[in-house]
Amino acid sequence: MTDVLKPRDREDVRALVAWAAAEEEPLEILGGGTKRGLGRPLQTTRSVDLSGLSGVTLYEPDELVLGARAGTRLADIEALLAENRQQLAFEPADLGPLYGGRAGAGTIGGTIACNLSGPRRIKAGAARDHFLGFTGANGRGELFSAGGRVVKNVTGYDLCKLLAGSYGTLAAMTDVIVKVLPAPEKTRTALVFGLADEDAARAMGAALNCEHEVSAAAHLPEPIARRSAVAYVNGAGKSVTAVRIEGFPASVQHRCAAVKVLLSSFGPVEELHGKSSAILWREVRDVAQFLAQPDRAVWRISTPPADGPKVAARVAAKLDAELFYDWAGGLIWLASAAIGDAGTAVIRAALRDTGGHATLMRAPEATRAAVEVFEPLSNEVEQLSMRVKESFDPHRILNPGRTHAGR
pLDDT above 80: residue 260: yes
Evaluated on CA atoms 397, 401, 406, 407, the torsion sign reads negative
pLDDT of residue 151: 53
C-beta separation of 77 from 68 below 8 A: yes
**Which amino acid appears at position 355 of this protein?**
G
What is the C-alpha to C-alpha distance for residues 93 and 110, in angstroms, rounded to an integer?
Answer: 11
Mean pLDDT of 189-213: 97
pLDDT above 60: residue 165: yes
pLDDT above 80: residue 44: yes
pLDDT above 60: residue 276: yes
- Give the pLDDT band of residue 147 (cuts 50, 70, 90): confident
Distances (CA, A) of 5 to 31, 49, 55, 96, 123: 12, 6, 19, 21, 39
- Give the pLDDT band of residue 274 (cuts 50, 70, 90): confident
pLDDT of residue 196: 98
pLDDT above 60: residue 155: no
pLDDT of residue 405: 82
pLDDT of residue 157: 65
**Which amino acid appears at position 215 of this protein?**
S
Instruction: Quick: pLDDT tens for 64-117.
Output: 999 999 999 999 999 999 999 999 999 999 999 999 999 999 999 999 999 989
Q: What would the 3-class secondary structure string for 294-312 be?
A: CCEEEEEEECCHHHHHHHH
What is the C-alpha to C-alpha distance for residues 343 and 395, in angstroms, rounded to an integer?
Answer: 34
Spatial strand order of the sheet with 143-147 comes to: 56-60, 65-69, 171-179, 131-138, 143-147
pLDDT above 80: residue 166: yes
Q: Which long-range contacts (CB under 8 A, 24 or more apart) does 401-405 make?
A: 401/40, 401/42, 401/43, 402/39, 402/40, 402/42, 402/167, 402/168, 402/169, 403/39, 403/40, 403/166, 403/167, 403/169, 403/373, 403/374, 404/40, 404/372, 404/374, 404/377, 405/40
What pairing do the DSSP bridges indicate for beta strands 357-362 and 28-30? unpaired
- Give the pLDDT band of residue 150 (cuts 50, 70, 90): low
With a CB cutoff of 8 Å and minimum separation 6, the contacts of 383 are none
Distances (CA, A) of 389 to 17, 129, 140, 392: 15, 22, 12, 5
Among 95, 41, 78, smallest CA distance to 285 is for: 95
Query: In the chain, what is the greatest distance between 2 CA atoms, to the nearest angstrom?
Result: 66
Instruction: Quick: pLDDT tens for 293-339.
Output: 999 999 999 999 999 999 999 999 999 999 999 999 999 999 999 99
Mean pLDDT of 47-59: 96
C-beta separation of 147 from 153 below 8 A: yes
- Give the pLDDT band of residue 158 (cuts 50, 70, 90): confident
